[in-house]
Amino acid sequence: MTKRTWIATAAVAALLAWAVPATPAQAYKDRMTPSQGDFMVRILGAAVVPDTDVDSIRTNGVLTPGADADVTDAYVPATTLTYFFTPNIAAELFCCVAEHEIDGEGTFAALGELAETWIFPPTLTLQYHFTGSRTFKPYLGAGVTYIAFFDEDVGNGLTGVATGVDIDDAWGFALQAGVDIALGGNWHFNADVKKIFLNTDVTWQLAGGGNIVADVDLDPWVFSAGFGYRFHLADLFGGGARHEPLK
């Protein structure tokens, strides 16, 4: 884990330690109202914006001077499922599928597209929701991401040079900030930003034997906005359970 990741983690931990009530009893003091619910589903539009930093590119184990690469942005639909343990503490699962291209930079710039791939990056975060307002509810979160790469293809710039490309799946660390704005009933507007820190290796198999290996920090920003619906699971399936109001 890099120094900047440790710093970000410490900042979130300090904020959560300050914000979370001093005792478990206080955290559970208030119950969700029927209009709130303990689950929320959101449908979002998301921008996945890699903050690419290539640590090295090696051809057959030898460092390639001046070689660099960049990963393109992607704009995709996304969804989240959030479960509220208490009015303040929740866990969220974010998911989307996106397609990216890897383009050559530096001495590889003339090659253009080096590879293209689809990604599946589910992200699980533990959140603290600030509940001072019934309408405007910001939150902070931290968690993990697992990014799976699939349908990798050699880019046009390496046609005839490389016979295949493989990108290693990877675990990453995620930080998050967002806000839910009540629209009435069970509906909310959501805006959210995540910063994900992760590293992977990209390996091209060369037609003449050997390989090119790039050590890449992707570190994407994920910006999203959309609408959420909050509900009690028992109510959704007709359980008709009664819920205590907020005090």
Domain boundaries along the sequence of the chain: 3-14+38-233
Percent of all residues in the chain with a pLDDT value above 90, rounded to a whole number? 74
Residue 64 exposed, middle or buried by CB count within 10 Å (0-12, 13-18, 19+)? middle
Domain 3-14+38-233 classification at class level: mainly beta
What pLDDT is recorded for position 56?
A: 93
- 3-state DSSP call for residue 13? helix
Mean pLDDT, residues 143-151:
96
Higher-confidence position of 186 and 241 = 186
Where does the pLDDT of residue 239 fall: very low under 50, low under 70, confident under 90, or very high at 90 and above? low
Read off the pLDDT of residues 8-27 as tens digits, 9 standing for 90 and up: 444 444 444 444 443 443 33
Q: What CA–CA distance (Å, rounded) separates 113 from 191?
A: 32
3-state SS assignment for residue 178: strand
Whole-structure pTM value = 0.81
The distance from CA 64 to its chain's CA centroid, rounded to whole angstroms, is 31
- Residue 199 to residue 40: CA distance in whole angstroms: 31
Is the predicted pLDDT of residue 148 greater than 50, yes or no?
yes
